[in-house]
């Protein structure tokens, strides 16, 4: 229930399958008066578009958003905003040959067990194509964040064992450097190594995992609710719903588990007559509520499940088979890369929802 919705006030509901006629998203609870256009949304969609570089899947659909409700004379009206994206360039025929095979690392077995059926065409509902809807909704959310001078940047922190060295100081610059990179990694030196790594991986007909880091600047204090609606817990859920995620960290994350209190505690100081924190080990939250410091964290992505190597598996009857993806199948060698704008979008959704909810806390 509500399995296709996210958020409490600013709430999105997505629909559509990878190889159906369209995918779409309905955004409920968006305040009235926000200027938004299809161009804004298309610009966001272009970032996660396949075929952006040799390091992502070459599929060349041209995602175009169509706003079907909730916007009047260029501004939101308070009514639900509906955005649809047609599925073009869809050819389900090549999935016919493997439709009865369980695909390692994929959800078709799980769907079958749950629902008694699965839509095998291009992954159906389980396809990462659904994330285009998140990016579209994130583009609307970003409009609201811009009004509050909140800026979010996500980027590749590591691919395999290659780790980028990134300074968090200037988020605006970070964002530009990220988008300028073919693989969304603002550290050019690391990016070179990563790209070489990906070429190798592709040669091996294999795939590789990666880590996406995010930083959110300009957040007011007080976002997030105590106990069960902590800001970081909601971020964790939001980001763990992105296909392929295996881990989430806030602030120091797992490193915090190796630290001592005297080392991890961020001390309160007064700077320019304003209370702030000397360090930011916590990653911008205390007790689940934002402190005004940048919110930072990381998400781990597994290697792409679809690989061109033959893999042993079974069919629906349990008989052993070999899965060989059809010649010309198009898959990302590293899903973390195209996940970057999705992480950014999910952060935006969590923030806007928390901003709106926070308006109800005081009379």
Residues 48-107 that bind a second copy (CB under 8 A): 66, 68-70, 72, 75, 77-82, 84, 102, 104-107
Does 359 engage in binding with a second copy (CB under 8 A)?
A: yes
Question: Are residues 50 and 56 in contact, defined by beta-carbon separation less than 8 angstroms?
Answer: yes
Q: By rule CB under 8 A, what string of x and - marks binding of each residue 185-224 to a second copy? A: ----------------x--x-xxxxxx---------xx--
Does 322 engage in binding with a second copy (CB under 8 A)?
A: no
Nearer to a second copy, 170 or 310 (CB): 310
Question: Are residues 316 and 102 in contact, defined by beta-carbon separation less than 8 angstroms?
Answer: yes
Measured over the CA atoms of residue 165, residue 128, residue 46 and residue 327, the dihedral's sign is positive
Residue 92 dihedral angles phi and psi, to the nearest 5°: -85, -10
Beta-carbon contacts of residue 349 (< 8 Å; ≥ 6 apart): 6, 7, 10, 12, 134, 137, 138, 141, 238
Element (H, E) at 21: none
- Per-residue burial over 242-262, b if 16 or more Cβ lie within 10 Å, else e, is bbbbeebbbbbeeeeeeeeee
Q: By rule CB under 8 A, what string of x and - marks binding of each residue 265-294 to a second copy? A: xxxxxx--xxx------xx-xxxxxxxx--
Residue 86 DSSP SS3: strand
Which residue in 59, 218, 302, 324 binds a second copy (CB under 8 A)? 302
Tell me how far, at minimum, the Cβ of 173 lies from a second copy, in Å: 25
CA dihedral 95, 97, 100, 105 (to 10 degrees): -60
* Contacts (CB under 8 A) with a second copy, residues 107-166: 107, 109-111, 113-119, 124-126, 130, 144, 147, 158, 160-161
Which residue in 167, 262, 327, 328 binds a second copy (CB under 8 A)? 262
Which residue in 90, 202, 233, 329 binds a second copy (CB under 8 A)? 233
User: How large is the C-alpha radius of gyration of the chain?
Assistant: 21
Nearer to a second copy, 110 or 180 (CB): 110
Question: Are residues 208 and 161 in contact, defined by beta-carbon separation less than 8 angstroms?
Answer: no
Does 234 engage in binding with a second copy (CB under 8 A)?
A: yes
Tell me how far, at minimum, the Cβ of 337 lies from a second copy, in Å: 12
Tell me how far, at minimum, the Cβ of 155 lies from a second copy, in Å: 14
Tell me how far, at minimum, the Cβ of 144 lies from a second copy, in Å: 6
């Amino acid at each position: 229930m509500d399995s296709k919705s996210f958020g409490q006030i600013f709430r999105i509901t997505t629909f559509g399958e990878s190889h159906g006629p369209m995918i779409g998203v309905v955004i409920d609870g968006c305040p009235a008066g926000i200027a938004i256009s299809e161009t804004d949304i298309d610009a966001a969609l272009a970032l996660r578009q396949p075929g952006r570089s040799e390091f992502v899947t070459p599929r060349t659909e041209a995602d175009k958003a169509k706003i079907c409700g909730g916007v009047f004379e260029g501004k939101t009206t308070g009514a639900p905003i509906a955005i649809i994206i047609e599925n073009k360039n869809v050819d389900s025929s090549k999935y016919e040959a493997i439709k009865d095979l369980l695909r390692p690392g994929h959800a078709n077995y799980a769907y079958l067990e749950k629902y008694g059926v699965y839509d095998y065409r291009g992954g159906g509902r389980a396809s990462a194509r659904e994330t285009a809807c998140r990016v579209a909704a994130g583009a609307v959310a970003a409009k609201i964040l811009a009004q509050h001078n909140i800026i979010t940047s996500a980027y590749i922190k590591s691919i395999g064992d290659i780790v980028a060295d990134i300074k968090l100081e200037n988020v605006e610059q970070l964002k530009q450097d990220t988008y300028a990179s073919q693989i969304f990694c603002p550290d050019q030196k690391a990016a070179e190594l990563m790209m070489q790594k990906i070429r190798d991986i592709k040669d091996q007909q294999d795939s590789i995992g990666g880590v996406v880091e995010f930083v959110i600047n300009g957040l007011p204090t007080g976002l997030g609710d105590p106990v069960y609606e902590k800001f970081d817990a909601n971020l964790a859920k939001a980001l763990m719903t992105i296909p392929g995620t295996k881990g989430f960290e806030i602030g120091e994350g797992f490193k915090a588990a190796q630290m001592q209190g005297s080392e991890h505690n961020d001390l309160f100081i007064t700077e320019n007559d304003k209370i702030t924190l000397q360090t930011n080990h916590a990653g911008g939250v205390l007790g689940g509520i934002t402190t005004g410091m940048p919110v930072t964290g990381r998400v781990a992505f597994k290697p792409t499940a679809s690989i061109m190597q033959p893999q042993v598996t079974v069919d629906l009857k349990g008989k052993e088979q070999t899965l060989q993806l059809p010649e010309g199948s198009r898959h990302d060698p590293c899903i973390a890369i195209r996940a970057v704008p999705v992480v950014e979008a999910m952060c935006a959704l969590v923030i806007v929802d928390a901003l709106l909810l926070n308006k109800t806390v005081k009379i």
